[in-house]
Structure 1
């Protein structure tokens, strides 16, 4: 077997930042995560079951190495007791299962959240790489390298544009849907070497460590969703989650995710207190232009100088879309663009639209009411209806 995951740092930074917060504040939480493929693969993912189980066995044999722990410990927002936890941590195989139902591959992790939450990115990277190993590798890499050079040429056209108030900065957010581990490394290293004036970091902690880049990330949907099941009044879960984050990081990692129950419901909770404490907001569903205007209007309403805040866009971006959004907002606020699939899996093949989402917590359903149709993942229609009622959110078609 050729192991896909060879280091436990080969994952997104926000896994560690959320992990630390949950370990410190809610270590007893039980959680369930479910794998879903949202598009039609070229062949049934069920065919990968044996290989997936082999890769999961290998993943559960890995531990953090001393140099990896030293790297984590050198990040100023990572606490020493969390590094001590990482020192003894190992994935427990009993907390994750893979099975098939007809052509459908099912992967489910269930157990203490501090033992299950980190499976997600590794599972997605494993399924992706196994899936694409069946295609012509040489043709894919040739096409990928051509497209990579086209992206660099496009970025260099920025030098001819009139300067704006804030610079154009983009990041690699491509671990979960990458074509392969080695291809992500080649893409990230190429951007670092060719366009360092624009490329400012990666969510992949291992690549950040090895290529001397800034690791990028704060929180994901699962963090806020967990607070739906921690005993807070449901109407107050966003405020409780944001407050927990503020208390944990005391000014670091200050970009808040806005779309767990939609932008409008988020802004209703994002009052002057939070707007001053957080450095900015991250967009991950819905029309990004509409979202950005709502964010800026909210800062104006609160009499906050938007030039001191950052709007981070991360929903299905490519470079062309990122540049369009930059031109729309860069004279009014700082911007940042996290690009995933269109950086690390743009090789001429149709990417898998796979996710592994938090679907239950403490034996209760949790959900995201996305600003985009098709992104909601929850089997409990009663809870979804209740969540929509509490936050006055209309169901999307």
Structure 2
């Protein structure tokens, strides 16, 4: 059996929005359950013994725990996280029994089930382990450390010159932990004019920078299971505002298409939230819709920010920045292009919530309807039902 040379060595080696959502779930939905499944969009074939190696890595995660130093970092950096939550996180341990990993030939299956407040932390680290193991077990050797550093330095200096702000969002499909750590160190060192932080809390702490993130699609997907599709965006945003009282104010827009989102993003939300995140579809079309929406609500678009985070590279960022200049605030979250640009093809994989079990209810399939039809995820009957209820035609 081949095992990863670098297992996860911090419970904070995860995206920040997993912790902010976990905090909110504990407060609002402590009895809710959830299921997640691995989706192999790229039809990658996994070598013999891959499931065994992944189970070994997942089992090792049970020993991770929040250190006193990490707890102090969160207390200082994220004062909106309740002391009771930080105490909970200090006592939290991953339970590998929540994760079922099997393999048939080259086909990998990963399913996660349990209380939502617990299972919410699994997605990102498991994806990062799948990615790192894939390269190691297939003996795919990428760039040297010096080449990784030089590539990251060259990129961030171009963003410095462009005059935009950049955050690193690449934990889940990174080449390896080692590569990721080198990249963030380089961005921090050379991105003095543009680099504002990373979504990875562990690496944010190591590099004395800011963890970046708010919420993910699963937040609104659960709300649809509990309250219905028409209320999912509205109550998802309302509950987020009730928990964070003005902090973490970037709203994710495309769980049920941007058009449906803006039909429900009324003047109160437009003023209350600092901005919106773009994660699918044409970024220029999205920018124009966002600017028009703020103007219609009597809100100055220049007082708000769009966070663009959909498969970005320098050319896309430059195109978006030139279009939006002087019209609305912008920032960019760049993932795989930073953390897996080592001369190998990145994996096209995701792990998504597939079912939710709200308090005193029943297991309900959940779906995501992004602004790209091919990226719809979930049960086909539920996708059709959601489109009918929300009036989505294509």
Asked whether the two chains share a fold, i.e. TM above 0.5, the reply is yes
Map 1:1-397 → 2, pairs under 5 A? 1=3, 2-41=5-44, 43-44=45-46, 47-74=49-76, 75-133=78-136, 134-137=138-141, 139=143, 141=145, 143-155=147-159, 157-158=161-162, 168-230=164-226, 232-362=227-357, 363-378=363-378, 380-395=379-394
- 1:378-397 Cα distance to aligned partner (Å, 9 max, x none): 1x2221111001111135xx
Deviation at 1:47, TM superposition (A): 4.0
> What is the CA-CA distance between 1:154 and the residue it aligns to?
2.8
> Does structure 1 retain, via aligned residues, the 8 Å contact 2:166–2:196?
yes
Do the aligned partners of residues 278 and 136 (structure 1) sit closer, same or farther apart at CA in structure 2, a change above 3 Å counting? same
Q: Name the stretch that deviates more: 317-326 or 168-177.
A: 317-326
TM-score where L is the length of structure 1 = 0.93
* CA distance, structure 2, for counterparts of residue 144 and residue 210 of structure 1: 19
In structure 1, C-alpha distance between the alignment counterparts of 2:383 and 2:311, rounded to whole Å: 25
Question: 2: distance between equivalents of 1:178 and 1:24?
Answer: 31
Q: Deviations over 1:32-71 (max 9, x none)?
A: 0001111133x42564111100001001221111111222
Per-residue CA deviation, residues 201-256 of structure 1 (Å, 9 max, x unaligned), is: 100101111111111000110111110112x2431111010000000000000000
Work out whether residues 6 and 177 of structure 2, in 8 Å CA contact, stay in contact via their aligned partners in 1: no
Alpha-carbon distance in 1 for matches of 2:236, 2:305: 20
Is the 1:140–1:349 contact (alpha carbons within 8 Å) kept by the matching residues of 2?
no
SS at match of 2:307: strand
Q: CA deviation at 1:147?
A: 3.0
The answer on whether the counterparts of 1:201 and 1:213 sit within 8 Å (CA) in structure 2 is yes
TM, length-normalised to structure 2? 0.94
1:319 is displaced (CA, Å) by 2.0
**Conserved in 2, the CA contact under 8 Å of 1:254 and 1:278?**
yes
Within 2, Cα distance between the matches of 1:152 and 1:338?
12
Residue 102 of structure 1 and its aligned partner are, at CA, apart by 3.1
Compute the displacement of 1:149 (Å): 4.1
Instruction: Give, in whole Å, the separation in 2 of the partners of 1:306 and 1:139.
Output: 42
Q: CA RMSD in A?
A: 1.6
Unmatched segments (≥5 aa) in structure 1 = 159-166
The answer to whether the Cα contact below 8 Å between 2:17 and 2:216 also exists between their aligned partners in 1 is yes
Find the residue that maps to 1:9 and give its secondary structure. coil
Once the two structures are TM-superposed, the CA of residue 157 in structure 1 deviates from its matched residue by 4.2
SS in 1 for 2:58: helix
Q: Residues 33 and 327 from structure 1, CA distance in 2 versus in 1: closer, same or farther, beyond 3 angstroms?
A: same
CA distance in 1, matches of 2:49, 2:288: 45
Give the whole-Å Cα distance in 1 for the aligned partners of 2:329 and 2:192.
18
Equivalences, count: 384
The residue number in structure 2 matching 1:163 is none
